[in-house]
């Protein structure tokens, strides 16, 4: 059976869902497409981490990949570039994920002394372009989706194999998950349905 391999942050991971292995959008979409589901979503992570995870993953020729890019103001410090890919080994790439609202020593230092919006937008453009170039070079079938228009970096590949919709409208439209923070089952199901309708033709 061919695989659906997804990358992203907590929404992709299924944070807050009672049964994420069944309710998260990737699992619903995998069932619709009749594919094995491999979920490389990680809570709180950055586009840098997502790009690095894609670069370390052992793809198979018939994989279908979806990258759900996250917020531009997040950043990750990568701690080990020798770690293997994510799900297939049961391990996670070690990193420190930095967010402005987190009161950790690393986050406070980074956002006080190093972060600025222009630098962040440029970095995210590099991460997206590198990742898309890599998948095109490997001839892996993929799609990408952004959280909302404001979280789309101005990069060469912002329109390359990009879904014609974003995640945020569904997040706002439907009831939240059990943690009252992340996207609930209805939003995940609707997102999977939109993705299915947009991809089923190219996968046949």
Task: Split the chain (204 residues) into runs of 10 and give each run's mean pLDDT.
Answer: 96 97 97 97 94 95 97 87 40 67 81 92 97 98 97 96 97 97 97 95 68
Range of the domain at 10: 3-203
Q: Would you say 31 and 46 are in contact if contact means Cβ atoms under 8 Å apart?
A: no
Give the pLDDT confidence score for residue 92 in this predicted structure.
Answer: 54
3-state helix, strand, coil split of the chain in percent (to 5) is 45, 15, 40
Nearest to 184 by CA among 5, 25, 9, 21: 25
Burial (CB count within 10 angstroms: exposed 0-12, middle 13-18, buried 19+), residue 46: buried
Domain CATH number, residue 123: 3.40.50.1110
Give the pLDDT confidence score for residue 30 in this predicted structure.
Answer: 98
* Distance separating alpha carbons of residues 201 and 153, to the nearest angstrom: 28
The domain tally of the chain equals: 1
Give the pLDDT confidence score for residue 79 in this predicted structure.
Answer: 77
Indicate the helix (H) or strand (E) that contains 98.
strand 95-98
Give the pLDDT confidence score for residue 93 in this predicted structure.
Answer: 55
Work out the angle between the directed axes of helices 117-138 and 47-56 (0-180°, nearest 10). Answer: 20
Q: Where are the alpha helices (DSSP H) in the chain?
A: 10-13, 20-23, 25-33, 47-56, 105-113, 117-138, 168-173, 185-203
Give the pLDDT confidence score for residue 204 in this predicted structure.
Answer: 61
- Which DSSP state fits 22? H
pTM of the model: 0.91
* Distance separating alpha carbons of residues 189 and 97, to the nearest angstrom: 28
């Amino acid at each position: 059976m061919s695989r659906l391999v997804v990358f992203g942050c907590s929404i992709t991971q299924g944070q807050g869902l009672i049964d994420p292995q069944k309710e998260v959008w990737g699992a619903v979409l995998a069932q619709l497409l009749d594919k094995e589901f491999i979920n490389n979503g990680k809570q709180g992570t950055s586009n840098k981490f997502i790009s690095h995870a894609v670069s370390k993953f052992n793809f198979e020729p018939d994989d279908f990949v979806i990258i759900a890019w996250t917020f531009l103001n997040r950043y990750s410090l990568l701690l080990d570039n020798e770690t293997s890919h994510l799900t297939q080994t049961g391990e996670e790439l070690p990193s420190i994920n930095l967010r402005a609202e987190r009161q950790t020593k690393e986050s406070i230092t980074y956002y006080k002394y190093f972060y600025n919006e222009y630098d962040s937008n440029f970095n995210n453009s590099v991460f997206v372009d590198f990742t898309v170039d890599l998948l095109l070079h490997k001839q892996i079938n993929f799609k990408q989706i952004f959280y909302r228009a404001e979280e789309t970096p101005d990069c060469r590949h912002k329109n390359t194999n990009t879904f014609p919709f974003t995640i945020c409208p569904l997040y706002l439209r439907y009831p939240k998950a059990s943690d009252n923070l992340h996207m609930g089952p209805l939003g995940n199901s609707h997102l999977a349905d939109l993705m299915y309708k947009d991809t089923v033709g190219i996968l046949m």
